[in-house]
Structure 1
Amino acid sequence: MIRKLSILALSLAALAPAFAMDAARSEAKEVIALQNGELLYVFKDGLMAKEGKFGRVIHLRKGEVVQTADGKSITTMGNETARLNSLLNKGHGN
């Protein structure tokens, strides 16, 4: 019985980051995978933000050229680090 409860608790804990990521993905018009494991979020107003491969927001310079996973180049617009950070942290506050 205790083992089953432990498995259930671990399963629910593994789902928690998925809900936070869902807020960021629902706000973004498009999420593009980059070559180095990072993600580029393109919001509905055309501005962009970048998430690192470990789930942290990375500073994005205006006009920076990034490579997608399939080899295309994208020139970035804006630096929406604050917006992405709040979306990724949504639901994790006290």
Structure 2
Amino acid sequence: MKARITAVVAATVLSAIVTPSFAGDAAAASAKKMFLLKDGGTLYVFEDGKTALEDKFGRAIHLKEGQSLETVDGQKITANGNEVARLDGLLRQGHSGG
């Protein structure tokens, strides 16, 4: 009985760790470039040159046209567009629960 409980707990912990790693797969595949930002977020640059911003919690957030963002290595990038709906759809892909 203890072995069974241990196996269930281990499976639950592993699924909690592994599942978030797939959250941005569609977004990463659709992006031409991705930049890790100093604040923990990620800037996505799509093939058409438009940009979208994901915060450190994995949510697509509003981005002002021309907003300056700093990458973890200190590079400054200027936003071009605000593809929040596009990114939100990509981040949610595969998470419909159905």
TM-score of the aligned structures, taking structure 2 as reference length: 0.87
Q: Match for residue 16 of structure 2?
A: 13
User: d(CA) in 2 for partners of 1:33 and 1:13?
Assistant: 23
Extract unaligned runs of 5+ from structure 2.
none
Cα deviation, 1:9-40, whole Å, max 9, x if unaligned, reads 33123322222211111111111011111110
Percent identity of equivalent pairs? 46
User: d(CA) in 2 for partners of 1:43 and 1:19?
Assistant: 19
Which secondary structure does the structure 2 equivalent of 1:50 belong to? strand
Extract unaligned runs of 5+ from structure 1.
none
Hey, which bits of structure 1, 4+ residues long, moved more than 6 A?
none
Q: Select which of 15, 22, 27 maps to 2:25.
A: 22
TM-score of the aligned structures, taking structure 1 as reference length: 0.90
The CA RMSD measured in Å over matched residues stands at 1.3
Q: Match for residue 88 of structure 1?
A: 91
